[in-house]
Amino acid sequence: MKFAALTDRIRSTGSRAWDLHYEAVRRMAAGEAAPDAYLLLSVGDSDFDTPRVITDAAIASLNAGHTHYTEMSGTTALRRLLADEYAARIGAPVLPDQVTVLAGAQNALFATCLTLLDPGDEVVIFDPVYVTYRDTLGVCGAQPVVVPTRSEDDFLPCPDAIAAAITPRTRAILVNDPNNPTGAVIPEAIWRAIAEIAIAHDLWVIVDEVYRALHYPGHPVPFTLASLPGMAERTVVVSSLSKSHAMSGWRLGWSIGPAAFGAHAARLNIVMLYGGPEFIQDAACTALREGTRFAADMARAYADRADVVIATLHRTAALRAIIPRAGMFVMVDIRPCGITAGDFAARLFEQTGIVVLAGEAFGDQAAGHIRIGLVHDKDVLQAACERIGGFALSLQCTPGAPGQFGDIVPGNAA
C-alpha cells in the first residue's frame, strides 16, 4: 500500500534519539529484563509526582461531570489565567482569544509552525537544538537554517551570525529559552538584538519556553521578548505544564501570540485537536493558581542535582560537563574517549544499564556529548555518574584531552 510522503520527512537523527530509551522500556515491559535493570536518564520526565492539589482538582472535575466537549481553543477560565500571566510579563493587555490550549508544547509548536509557515519558508534555529525541531519544520515543508552556537560563548546565539543567516525566504526565528540540552539562558541584550533583526526583516519569532519556570536560584529570570516595542505583534510563545508542574503525562500545553494569530490557530484546531479534556484544563487552572512554589522547589532541586553530577563527573579527567543555568539536564563532553556519543551511549546501555541521550541528536555542536537527565535523587545520580566515569575509564580515554566546555567549576550550577 502507498503512504503519504509526509511521514518520510521525519527521519533526522533527532527522531531516533530515544531508541535506546524505548528499547530499555520494551525489555523491562516484556520481562526480558528485571523491572529495575535500566536506569533511565534519557528523557525529561521528572521523578517528582504531580502535586496532590492538582490531581485532586482533576478528580473533582471528573466527579462533577466535566467530561464533555469544551471550547475549541480551551476553556475560557484557563485561557484567561494564561493571558493574564503573559500580560503581566509583557506590560500590555492580552485577551483569552490570543491563547490556544493544545496537547502539550510539542503539539503547540507543531500547530504554531503550521499556522505561520508555508512550504519553502526558511526558519533560523540554533545548534544545539531540541531534537524535534528539524522534523517539525520539515513536516510543514519549511527549511531549517542552522546557526551554530559556541561553547566559548556559553552556547548563546551570536546576533551577527543570525543576521547573516537571513535571506528573502526567511519567515521566522525559532528559539528555545532556556535551552534544551545546554541549559543556557539568553540575556536581555541578545534578545534585543534578535528583536532588531526580526523587525528589520519582518519576521516571526517563536519562543519555546517550556523550561522557563525551572531557572536556577541565583540566576536571572528568562527575559520576555514580547515586552520589547514592536515584538508583541510578531512573537508566539509555546509552553506547557509538563516540566514546571511535573505534568508530562497530562499533555497540556499552549501557544500565545497576537490576536490575528489566535484566530488562525483556533481555525487550525478544528481539524487538529477539536478541544481538550475539560477536567485536565480544570486541573491546569489549579496548577497555575497554586503551583508556583512547587515549580521553584523543583528548580532548586534540579540545581542541587546538577552540582552533584558535575562534581562527580569532574573526578574523571576524560569527562567534562557544561554548567546549566536552568532546566533538568547536564551535557557531558565525552570526546576524549575516542568514540562517538552514539557508540558511547549504546555501550554504556549494554554494559551498565544506564540510558543517556547521545548529543548527535541535538546537532553538530552537541556531537561528542551525552545528555544526562536530572530525573532521580542526588544519591542515585551520584552513583550513576560514578559508574559512567568508570565506564569512560574502561575505554582508555585520553585524560585531560581538550573538551568543548572547558574546565568544570563544581557548585556553579546553582
pLDDT band at 18 (very low <50, low <70, confident <90, very high): confident
- Which carries the bigger pLDDT value, residue 35 or residue 165? 165
Q: Which domain holds residue 184?
A: 70-290
**End residue of a domain, out of 290, 320, 340:** 290
pLDDT band at 398 (very low <50, low <70, confident <90, very high): low
Any alpha helices (H) in 91-187, and if so which ranges? 105-116, 133-139, 159-165
CATH code for the domain of 42: 3.90.1150.10
In a domain, 304, yes or no: yes
In a domain, 227, yes or no: yes
- Clarify whether residues 41 and 159 are in a common domain: no
What total number of domains does the chain contain?
2
Question: Is a pLDDT exceeding 90 seen at residue 89?
Answer: yes
Question: Is a pLDDT exceeding 80 seen at residue 401?
Answer: no
CB atoms within 10 A of CB 23: 16
The rounded distance, in Å, linking the Cα atoms of 349 and 321 is 20
pLDDT band at 403 (very low <50, low <70, confident <90, very high): very low
What integer pLDDT is reported at residue 195 of this predicted model? 99
What integer pLDDT is reported at residue 399 of this predicted model? 53
In a domain, 63, yes or no: no
CATH code for the domain of 131: 3.40.640.10
What integer pLDDT is reported at residue 404 of this predicted model? 37
Nearest to 179 by CA among 368, 49, 323, 293: 323
Question: Is a pLDDT exceeding 60 seen at residue 410?
Answer: no
What integer pLDDT is reported at residue 402 of this predicted model? 41
In a domain, 182, yes or no: yes
- Clarify whether residues 327 and 341 are in a common domain: yes
pLDDT band at 414 (very low <50, low <70, confident <90, very high): very low
What integer pLDDT is reported at residue 14 of this predicted model? 63
> 226-248 b/e with 16+ CB inside 10 Å = b?
bbbeebbebbbbbbbbbbbbbbb
In a domain, 60, yes or no: no
What integer pLDDT is reported at residue 5 of this predicted model? 86
The stretch 270-280 carries a mean pLDDT of 95
- Clarify whether residues 74 and 177 are in a common domain: yes
Question: Is a pLDDT exceeding 80 seen at residue 413?
Answer: no
What integer pLDDT is reported at residue 317 of this predicted model? 86
- Clarify whether residues 177 and 89 are in a common domain: yes
What are phi and psi for residue 126, nearest 5 degrees? -110, 135
In a domain, 56, yes or no: no
Question: Is a pLDDT exceeding 90 seen at residue 154?
Answer: no
The stretch 260-284 carries a mean pLDDT of 96
- Clarify whether residues 76 and 174 are in a common domain: yes
Question: Is a pLDDT exceeding 50 seen at residue 8?
Answer: yes
Q: Write out pLDDT tens, residues 69-79.
A: 999 999 999 99
- Clarify whether residues 218 and 97 are in a common domain: yes
Question: Is a pLDDT exceeding 50 seen at residue 336?
Answer: yes
**End residue of a domain, out of 290, 317, 352:** 290
The stretch 125-135 carries a mean pLDDT of 95
- Clarify whether residues 113 and 165 are in a common domain: yes
- Clarify whether residues 20 and 139 are in a common domain: no
Q: What kind and span of H or E run contains 39?
A: strand 39-40
Instruction: Give the contacts of 198 (CB within 8 A, at least 6 positions apart).
Output: 173, 204, 205, 231, 234
- Clarify whether residues 234 and 139 are in a common domain: yes
**End residue of a domain, out of 290, 324, 353:** 290
Percent of the chain with pLDDT over 90: 83
- Clarify whether residues 27 and 77 are in a common domain: no
| 131: helix, strand or coil | coil
Question: Is a pLDDT exceeding 60 seen at residue 400?
Answer: no
pLDDT band at 137 (very low <50, low <70, confident <90, very high): very high
Q: Write out pLDDT tens, residues 298-326.
A: 999 999 999 999 999 999 888 999 899 99
Question: Is a pLDDT exceeding 50 seen at residue 200?
Answer: yes
In a domain, 39, yes or no: yes
The rounded distance, in Å, linking the Cα atoms of 84 and 94 is 7
Nearest to 237 by CA among 86, 81, 73: 86
Question: Taking a C-beta distance cutoff of 8 angstroms, is the pair 184, 220 a contact?
Answer: no
In a domain, 326, yes or no: yes
Q: Write out pLDDT tens, residues 348-387.
A: 999 999 999 999 999 999 999 999 999 999 999 999 999 9
Question: Taking a C-beta distance cutoff of 8 angstroms, is the pair 394, 406 a contact?
Answer: no
- Clarify whether residues 196 and 274 are in a common domain: yes
- Clarify whether residues 94 and 219 are in a common domain: yes
The stretch 256-266 carries a mean pLDDT of 97
What integer pLDDT is reported at residue 397 of this predicted model? 62
What integer pLDDT is reported at residue 13 of this predicted model? 63
Q: In the numeric block, which cell numbers belong to residue 81? A: 489565567
